[in-house]
């Protein structure tokens, strides 16, 4: 990490390892979270995302390594806002009282409770007991708690889980607005395509190890690609493409194929040589999910 | 009042648990007074019997602190509190202990009022030495202090065990199985237990300790348990 990068980093994670007995949940993970950016912390279920986040924010002790937020291991609610599942609210306590207690612990005025409830759209449920909340409402409550101190850094664990489409859209624009205003957001998700619309940078972990760190644009460009063709005689083209070492990724109605392992020019020449008529020939970028799967497969191998 | 203490007090006072314990404490106090007086009404009562009749029930407050503190882990409310405050788990536990000491007194006070309001007139009509104002004040003050210290002890136990079910069952087993067995061997050992000295401070006469001695022993029990819990809290994951 360069000095400049260290200066810019809102969160620095160095050689972080977390073991529970024989199980290594997080294994020597290092990365930085850029200030003023939204960073997706991605990985399949069980990859170690939540454990890593707990260790980063200081509610789990690392076995080795360290994480620093704005250069300090335990920041308060004015610096760092965290929402990690579950919400951590007593089911018998009202949303208002839950947030009021957290505001008091942080030394914040009680008036802030009303403000954050309004931000997350829960003002109508302020006096309801948390035990009666839906999953989406609990997510919003967790987010409200994270926002109490109006922190410059937000760490959100699977924040889109349980939100309805309107909630997802709201959260995306909210997170983007925070970043646009200079805030930093680290959010985890096990669904890459869901997070891809929101994040600038991506950190992928799999089986506790770092699988990728870079921008979402770089990740998208990592795709192996392929060529989409449509032909009235797909059988001949499939045979010829396989003979040339290509993979036929899918075939559906109307003779539409995805050929992997050849570029568009090579497929065009092959079709010409086989006298196969093409109705469509276009390069096809690999989907983010495909890149995600290939990253995690490689790491698992 | 510090922000940590204020926050923990809000947490303690904003569930129905507090009211539930207040109700239980009043009912148990009333039951103790009536069961100690009515079955043998008219028989000679010693001063110790009369003191025991209006003594506090500090074990209720061990369970109050224990269930509350272990419940923090059951409902995972510790992590948001630590994150909001930006303090370590040990500091949060100390604040929680302070909050439970205060609310312990608040819960014990109505039970004590009921005990004295019902018990003193009934005891006055029973034969035997009269319970004086100094005795009554000592029992009332001792009961409130025992409630506060027992609640803190319960918070420490709850933080050490972290499981409501295991800690409550463990406490009940100690109370109803272990201590009676030990009592067969040594009354002094039972007197010296947390439950023994808490009862002693709350007004129940002990063979081994005076009320003051019991108070000092209870402070010792509480400090040791709290220290162990703070050390454990600093070494273990919050979530």
Chain A's closest residue to B16, CA to CA, is: A92
pLDDT tens track for B146-205: 999 999 999 999 999 999 999 999 999 999 999 999 999 999 999 999 999 999 999 999
ipTM exceeding cut-off 0.85 for this assembly: yes
For chain A, helix, strand, coil in percent to 5 are: 40, 30, 35
Across the interface, whether the CB atoms of A58 and B15 are under 8 A apart is answered no
Q: Which of B7, B9, B83 to mutate to test the interface with A (most CBs of A within 10 A)?
A: B83
Q: For residue range A125-134, list pLDDT tens digits in order.
A: 999 999 999 9
Asked whether the beta carbons of residue A88 and residue B16 sit closer than 8 angstroms, the reply is no
| Contacts of B16 by beta carbon, 8 Å cutoff, 6+ apart | A92
**CB A137, CB A87: distance < 8 Å:** no
List pLDDT tens digits, range A62-92: 999 999 998 877 778 889 999 997 778 999 9
Check whether domain A3-215 has CATH 3.20.20.70, yes or no: no
Q: Can you list the pairs that A3-9 forms with residues at least 24 positions away whose Cβ atoms lie under 8 Å?
A: A5/A32, A6/A32, A8/A34, A8/A35, A9/A33, A9/A34, A9/A35
Q: How far apart are CA A255 and CA A232, in angstroms?
A: 6
Is the per-residue pLDDT at A105 higher than 70?
Answer: yes
CA A163 to CA B151: how far, in whole Å?
40
- Which of the residues A101, A116, A126, A145 would you substitute to probe the B interface, choosing the one with the greatest number of B C-beta atoms within 10 Å? A101
Query: What percent of chain A has a predicted confidence (pLDDT) above 90?
Result: 54
CA distances (Å), origin A45, targets A51, A205, B59: 12, 10, 45
Q: Tens-of-pLDDT digits for all 239 residues of chain B? A: 799 999 999 999 999 999 999 999 999 999 999 999 988 888 888 999 999 999 999 999 999 999 999 999 999 999 999 999 988 899 999 999 999 999 999 999 999 999 999 999 999 999 989 899 999 999 999 999 999 999 999 999 999 999 999 999 999 999 999 999 999 999 999 999 999 999 999 999 999 999 999 999 999 999 999 999 999 999 999 88
**Which pLDDT score is estimated for A250?**
65
Interface touch B78/A88, C-beta < 8 Å: yes
Give the pLDDT band (50/70/90) at residue A297: low
On whether any CB of chain A is under 8 Å from the CB of B117, the answer is no
Q: Which residues of B touch A101 (CB under 8 A)?
A: 7-8, 10-11, 14, 81
Helix (H, G, I), strand (E, B) or coil at A248: strand
Give the DSSP per-residue string, chain B: --HHHHHHHHHHHTSTHHHHHHHHHHHHHHHHHHHHHGGGTTS---HHHHHHHT---THHHHHHHHHHHHHHHHTT-HHHHHHHHT--HHHHHHHHHHHHHHHHHHHHHHHHHHHHHHHHHHHHTSSSS---HHHHHHHHHHHHHHHHHHHHHHHHHHHHH--HHHHHHHHHHIIIIIHHHHHHH-HHHHHHSHHHHHHHHTT---SS--HHHHHHHHHHHHHHHHHHHHHHHHHS---
Interchain pair A105, B4: CB under 8 A: yes
Say yes or no for a CB contact (<8 Å) between B239 and A59: yes
Answer whether residue A298 shows pLDDT above 50.
no
Report how many Cβ contacts below 8 Å link chain A to chain B. Answer: 100
Domain-wise residue ranges, chain A: 3-215, 227-285
Whole-number pLDDT of residue A263: 80
Q: Check CB contact of B11 with chain A, cutoff 8 Å.
A: yes
Using an 8 Å CB-CB cutoff, list chain A residues near B237.
Answer: 54, 59-61
Q: List, for residues A30-39, the tens digit of each pLDDT value.
A: 999 999 999 9
Q: Alpha carbon B147 to chain centroid distance?
A: 4
Please give the mean pLDDT across all residues of chain A: 87
Q: How far is A28 from chain B (nearest CA, A)?
A: 19
């Amino acid at each position: 990490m360069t000095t400049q990068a260290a200066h810019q980093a809102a969160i620095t994670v160095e050689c972080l390892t977390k073991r529970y007995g024989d199980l290594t949940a997080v294994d020597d993970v290092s990365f930085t979270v850029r200030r003023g950016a939204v960073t997706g912390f991605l990985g399949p279920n069980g990859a170690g995302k939540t454990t890593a986040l707990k260790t980063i924010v200081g509610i789990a002790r690392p076995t080795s390594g360290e994480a620093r937020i704005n250069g300090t291991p335990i920041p308060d609610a004015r610096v760092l806002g965290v929402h990690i599942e579950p919400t951590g609210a007593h089911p018998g306590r009202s949303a208002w009282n839950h947030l009021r207690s957290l505001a008091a612990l942080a030394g914040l005025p009680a008036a802030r409770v009303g403000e954050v409830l309004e931000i997350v759209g829960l003002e109508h449920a302020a006096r309801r007991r948390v035990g009666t909340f839906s999953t989406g409402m609990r997510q919003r409550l967790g987010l409200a708690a994270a926002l109490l101190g109006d922190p410059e850094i937000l760490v959100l664990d699977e924040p889109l889980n349980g939100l309805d489409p309107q909630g997802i859209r709201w959260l995306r624009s909210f997170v983007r607005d925070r970043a646009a205003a200079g805030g930093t957001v680290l959010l985890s998700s096990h669904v890459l395509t869901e997070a891809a619309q929101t994040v600038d940078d991506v950190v992928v972990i799999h089986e506790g190890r770092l699988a990728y760190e870079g921008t979402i644009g770089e990740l998208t460009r990592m795709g192996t690609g392929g060529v989409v063709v449509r032909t009235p005689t797909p059988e001949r083209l499939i045979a010829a493409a396989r003979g040339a070492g290509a993979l036929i990724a899918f075939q559906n109605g109307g003779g539409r194929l995805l050929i992997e392992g050849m570029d568009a020019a090579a497929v065009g020449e092959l079709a010409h040589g086989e006298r196969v008529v093409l109705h469509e020939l276009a390069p096809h970028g690999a989907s983010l999910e495909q890149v995600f799967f290939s990253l995690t497969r490689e790491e698992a191998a | 009042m510090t922000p940590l203490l204020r926050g923990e007090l809000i947490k303690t006072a904003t569930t129905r648990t507090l009211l539930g314990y207040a109700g239980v404490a009043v009912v148990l106090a009333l039951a103790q007074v009536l069961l100690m007086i009515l079955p043998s009404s008219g028989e000679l009562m010693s001063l110790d019997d009369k003191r025991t009749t209006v003594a506090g029930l500090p074990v209720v407050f061990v369970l109050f602190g224990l269930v509350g503190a272990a419940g923090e882990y059951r409902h995972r409310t510790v992590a948001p509190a630590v994150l909001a405050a930006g303090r370590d788990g040990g500091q949060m536990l100390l604040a929680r202990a302070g909050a439970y000491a205060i609310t312990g007194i608040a819960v014990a006070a109505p039970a004590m009022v009921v005990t004295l309001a019902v018990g003193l007139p009934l005891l006055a009509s029973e034969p035997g030495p009269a319970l004086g104002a100094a005795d009554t004040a000592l029992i009332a003050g001792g009961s409130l202090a025992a409630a506060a210290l027992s609640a803190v002890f319960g918070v420490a136990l709850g933080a050490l065990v972290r499981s409501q079910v295991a800690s409550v069952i463990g406490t009940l087993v100690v109370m109803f199985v272990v201590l009676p067995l030990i009592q067969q061997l040594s009354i002094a050992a039972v007197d010296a237990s947390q439950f023994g000295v808490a009862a002693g401070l709350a007004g129940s006469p002990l063979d081994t300790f005076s009320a003051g001695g019991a108070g000092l022993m209870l402070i010792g029990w509480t400090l040791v348990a709290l220290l162990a819990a703070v050390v454990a809290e600093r070494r273990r994951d919050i979530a």
